[in-house]
Amino acid sequence: MKQISKKLKIILPILLVAATIITISLLLRGHNFQLLNPQGIIAHQERSTMFTAVLLMLTLAVPLLVATFVIAYKYRATNEQADYQPEWDHNLEWEFIRWGLPAAIVVLLGILTWNTSHAVDPYKKIDPGTKTLTIQVVALQWKWLFIYPGQNIATVNFVEFPQNTPVNFQLTADAPMSSFWIPQLGGQMYAMPGMVTQLNLMADSAGEYAGTAAEINGAGFAGMKFTAKSVSSDDFNSWLNSMQATSSELTLAGYNDLAKPSEYNPQAFFAPVEPNLYNEVIMKFMAPEAGQDADMPGMHM
Amino acid sequence: MQHFLIGNLTTDALPHQWFTLGGTCFILLMSVVVVLFLTYTKRWKWLWTEWLTSTDPKRIGIMYIIMASLMLFRGALDAVMIWLQQALSSGASYGYLDPSHFQQIFTAHGDIMIFFVTMGFLFGLLNFIVPLQIGTRDLAFPFLNSLGFWLYVAGAVFINLFFVIGGDFAATGWLALPPLSELAFNPGTGVDYWIWSLQISGLGTMLGGINFLVTIIKMRAPGMTLFRMPMFTWTALLSSSLVVAIFPILAATIALLWLDRFFGMHFFTAGFGGNMMMYVNLIWTWGHPEVYVLIIPGFGIYSEVVSTFSQKKLFGYYSMVAAAFGITGIAFVVWLHHFFTMGAGADVNAFFGIMTMIIGIPTAVQIFNWLLTMFRGRIIFKTPMFWFLGFISTFTFGGIAGLLLASPAADFQLHNTLFLVAHFHTMVIGGALFGIFAGITYWFPKVTGFRLNERLGKYAFWCWLVGFFTAFTPLYLLGLMGATRRLDHYDAGTGWQPLFITALIGICIIGIGALLQVLQIFVSFKQRKENRDLTGDPWNGRTLEWATSSPPPHYNFAVIPTVESRDAFWNMKQKGLTKPKNYQDITMSKNTGLGIYLSGFIFLLGFAFVWHILWLGILGFAGAIICVIIRAYDDDTEYVITASELRQLEEKETLH
């Protein structure tokens, strides 16, 4: 009887672990691990940073973890054969090893960190040889407005750009702070009222990628999603032409309407766009006229 | 006139939503039960004189732990509500909470778990154990200690008060980042409740930090040099000095936010030259070290536990202290890693990333030290050791995730995702909370005189560990899939729902673990006769807290022990214990209700600020000042136990 229960004690955890692994793999079938499935040059580099760093750390963590349980088992009180030295509390070689090993890993991690921080610096222009597309982004309550200054069009919750062309996003907000994120193309950047930040991305291939707001910014936060579509440059040009032909104008009054809080906003398209709109959105937080409350969303400009 | 009397209060502020009604009814019901119980058992006077007005750090410690346990259940209920919403709200379903309510819940969850659960447990353990470990009878400032506790209670009441009056809490995330937390976007009283809850309890924490810093520096037993201090005392010292350094930053930062909201100033507003990133920087210069305030004493507890149950000296004491110093120091220069995505340059980001990684070195050193302490030991696997091994298993993964987040290139992707959420829960649950549970189990016989039931303790541990991995592994995976934190809804096409449901199952398993812990305490109390420890030293301990009886007399030690080495009690035992009888008169501090009154007035002041009631504010302010003056002019705050009384007390004790 005792032996059976002893066997059970070994078999049961193994079965449990196996069941867990099977359940998890079933749960995960067909999922898009966006961070591990990059479609842009920046996201590629960010993923390889993650892999390298994790591998580096595992070289120390796995032996430590294994050692913990081996030592805990070997020196259990019931094992009277094991060495017992209750006064043994320092050792110079171990001193070097336990400071040296983690330090060595951290030096390597540090070099990796320094290099990759500069390699994927969001402000750094990608491949300065080719022509860069500039897109201005305004985070509103609770939708994303994209303005194409060179093409004089604007879109809401949808952004399209040619593949293999560097895109320079210039981000601001006319709302509480948001974080702009297209996981499969690259990491996030904050969009803050009265300030401009930059994010340079480039898609490798054509496709539609999920974009989202990543920083809590009020009631409509969960619905503040957009689609980022990367297409061939021919398709992009024809999209531009159709936009100019079919869309309505975005005036200042129209913008003020748009800036009013709304949740799960549908996509929208505008052409042409009030000139200098983006700068005015930024400047209204800089020097409000007397009597105006700069905090109020959807104020008049 | 109406505005003069009740400020901005209207009938709208009365409970009318299901959760405020529910919360209010629950609070009322509990109050009635407590009142009836106290009246029926005639314990009002006992409660007031023996407990509430006590300045005995042991009693205050126990009250801290009871309060923190209550708040743990409140915070856990929030966690269940958060995940229930996320498990339901996919595709066409929008769950059972509206977005704003959902956001209030996760805000409250974070603040409660950090300020009122973890900090509460921590101060509880510090209060009970530190004076015993350093061989003293009281803290340096007994009244401040009582006041600090009651401010903590006032803060805890404040964070729950919106259930009864107001109806909404901050819907901003636990740090209330502006401009979202400014009037323009959060015009209700929720953020004001948040501000004053943290301001009041933060003041209490600051007083506690000062108290422990001075106590440990000035009041150690004769012979206990700094490098003879037990590791837990070292970590208490470092944690307290962190508290003293950072809590003024928190107080100033949220005071500025309050000025914005109350007087219409523009420190952090979107317009008029306000700068929200100033707030973000300030709050994280407090916020990051705060995490270390929570976790460093956990490291101290593990050191005590591992050494005691391995029946061996702690390995590498000096490098342990050095490592703890390292973690404390570097804690101040890493805050920017919480917002690499602000748009600082690559140089700045890389600097803060590398500084963060350097913290990995002393942390790894500590883990090595615990391993080498077990190495060539004789390990007895009592429940605290289980918590320690559980901590190593979770913390290793949490640490890897943490160093990954410290790399700006990786953090641009992982920031604000559920991966991050899983990481810091691993650190706070696996690091701080498991340590607290280990500490509570370890010191329980010291506090009560009987041991906790081992079997139930181990069952509870397994529930916590299995529940923890079931709850947080899905979050790591969801983060890698691109799920941001704080989502009240997501598309069905993402396929995230099964993972959220798994996480919900995980927290239910954790919940069973927590209930088992409650059961454990009841069962242990019923079986206290079998589990009684009459020696005062149930684990064959090494440090001074085991040198006195369990529970210790209110004066801790009849004769203050003289310390000759590290592991002072262990060495006393080696030499053969003798009970010193050279009694002398001792001075103890009297109980006082002034701490309760003072924090009550500060509570009123906070309430007046939330609802703009001028007269109440003046009353609160004046009352608080008067309490301070009364205390300052009170010369009769101590009493003496004479040597002969002490002898009688001690002889009675031995007869038992």
Q: Which amino acid is at B476?
A: Y
Distance from CA of A245 to the nearest CA of B (A): 32
Strands A186-191 and A158-162, bridge-based pairing: unpaired
d(CA B203, CA B184): 28
Distance from CA of A60 to the nearest CA of B (A): 9
Give the Cα-Cα-Cα angle B105, B107, B111 (nearest 5 degrees): 115
pLDDT tens, position by position, B364-413: 999 999 999 999 999 999 999 999 999 999 999 999 999 999 999 999 99
Q: Residues 6 or more apart from A52 whose CB is under 8 A from it? A: A112
Q: Do A90 and B100 touch (CB under 8 A)?
A: no
Chain B residues closer than 8 Å to A75 by CB: 310, 374-379
Residue among B89, B357, B420, B505 with most chain A CBs within 10 A, to mutate: B357
The answer to whether B277 faces chain A, any CB pair under 8 Å, is yes
The answer to whether B92 faces chain A, any CB pair under 8 Å, is no
Q: Residue A230: what are its φ and ψ, rounded to 5°?
A: -110, 130
DSSP 8-state code for residue A144: E
Residue pairs spanning A and B at CB distance below 8 A: 305
Q: Do A64 and B375 touch (CB under 8 A)?
A: no
Beta bridge partners of A228: A159, A209
Best CA proximity match to A65, nearest among B473, B370, B232: B370
Q: Which amino acid is at A34?
A: Q
DSSP 8-state code for residue B450: B
**Helix (H/G/I), strand (E/B), else coil: B541:** coil
Contact A155, A269 (CB under 8 A): yes
Distance from CA of B401 to the nearest CA of A (A): 8
Q: Do B346 and A118 touch (CB under 8 A)?
A: yes
Nearest to A222 among B373, B400, B490 (CB): B490
pLDDT tens, position by position, B75-118: 999 999 999 999 999 989 999 999 999 999 999 999 999 999 99
Strands A158-162 and A225-231, bridge-based pairing: parallel
Nearest to A75 among B183, B376, B393 (CB): B376
* Predicted pLDDT at A296: 47
The answer to whether B357 faces chain A, any CB pair under 8 Å, is yes
The answer to whether B4 faces chain A, any CB pair under 8 Å, is no
Q: Which residue has the tokens 């006393």?
A: B572
**pLDDT in single tens digits along all 301 residues of chain A:** 566 777 777 888 888 888 888 877 777 777 889 999 999 999 999 999 999 999 999 999 999 999 999 999 999 999 999 999 999 888 888 889 889 999 999 999 999 999 999 999 999 999 867 789 999 999 999 999 999 999 999 999 999 999 999 999 999 999 999 999 999 999 999 999 999 999 999 999 999 999 999 999 999 999 999 999 999 999 999 999 999 888 899 999 999 999 999 999 999 999 899 989 999 999 888 765 555 554 444 433 3
* Predicted pLDDT at A1: 55
The answer to whether B215 faces chain A, any CB pair under 8 Å, is no
Determine how many CB atoms are found less than 10 A away from the CB of residue A59.
Answer: 12
pLDDT tens, position by position, B414-468: 999 999 999 999 999 999 999 999 999 999 999 999 999 999 999 999 999 999 9
Tokens representing B123 are 């101060």
Distance from CA of A283 to the nearest CA of B (A): 10
Q: What is the 3-state secondary structure (H, E, C) of B387-441?
A: HHHHHHHHHHHHHHHHHHHHCHHHHHHHCCEHHHHHHHHHHHHHHHHHHHHHHHH
Contact B235, B297 (CB under 8 A): yes
Residue among A295, A296, A301 with most chain B CBs within 10 A, to mutate: A295
Chain A residues closer than 8 Å to B178 by CB: 176
As a whole number, mean pLDDT of residues B566-572 equals: 92
User: Measured in Å, how far apart are chain A's first and last C-alpha atoms?
Assistant: 84
pLDDT tens, position by position, B503-521: 999 999 999 999 999 999 9
pLDDT at B6 over 90: no
Determine the distance from the C-alpha atom of residue B498 to the mean position of all C-alpha atoms in its chain, rounded to a whole number.
33
Q: Do A86 and B269 touch (CB under 8 A)?
A: no
* Predicted pLDDT at B271: 83
As a whole number, mean pLDDT of residues B631-656 equals: 86
**Helix (H/G/I), strand (E/B), else coil: B451:** coil
Contact B432, B298 (CB under 8 A): yes
**Helix (H/G/I), strand (E/B), else coil: A273:** strand
* Predicted pLDDT at B7: 84
**Helix (H/G/I), strand (E/B), else coil: B472:** helix
Using CB atoms within 10 A of its CB, is residue A111 exposed (0-12), middle (13-18) or buried (19+)?
A: exposed
Q: Do B103 and A216 touch (CB under 8 A)?
A: yes
The answer to whether B311 faces chain A, any CB pair under 8 Å, is yes
Distance from CA of B170 to the nearest CA of A (A): 11
Determine how many CB atoms are found less than 10 A away from the CB of residue B126.
Answer: 29
* Predicted pLDDT at B215: 97
Q: Do A89 and B502 touch (CB under 8 A)?
A: no
d(CA B450, CA B549): 11
Q: Do A27 and B502 touch (CB under 8 A)?
A: yes
Best CA proximity match to B454, nearest among B467, B441, B464: B441
Could you tell me which chain A residue has the CA closest to the CA of B269? Answer: A295
d(CA A56, CA A60): 7
pLDDT at B310 over 50: yes
Q: Which amino acid is at B577?
A: L
Chain B residues closer than 8 Å to A64 by CB: 364, 367-368, 371, 396
pLDDT at B250 over 90: yes
Helix ranges (DSSP H) in B310-345: 317-330
Please state, rounded to an integer, the average pLDDT across all residues of chain B. Answer: 94
Best CA proximity match to B199, nearest among B233, B155, B137: B155
Q: Do A110 and B180 touch (CB under 8 A)?
A: no
Distance from CA of A244 to the nearest CA of B (A): 31
Measured CA to CA in angstroms, residue B644 lies from A301, B138, B284 at distances of 84, 21, 54
Beta bridge partners of B588: B639
Nearest to A117 among B269, B372, B408 (CB): B408
d(CA B128, CA B465): 27
The answer to whether B272 faces chain A, any CB pair under 8 Å, is yes
pLDDT at B1 over 90: no
Contact A224, A215 (CB under 8 A): no
Best CA proximity match to A174, nearest among B599, B185, B413: B185
Report chain B's C-alpha Rg in angstroms.
Answer: 25
- Checking ipTM against 0.85, whether it exceeds it is yes
Q: Do A58 and B400 touch (CB under 8 A)?
A: yes
pTM: 0.94
Determine how many CB atoms are found less than 10 A away from the CB of residue A300.
Answer: 10
pLDDT at B655 over 70: no
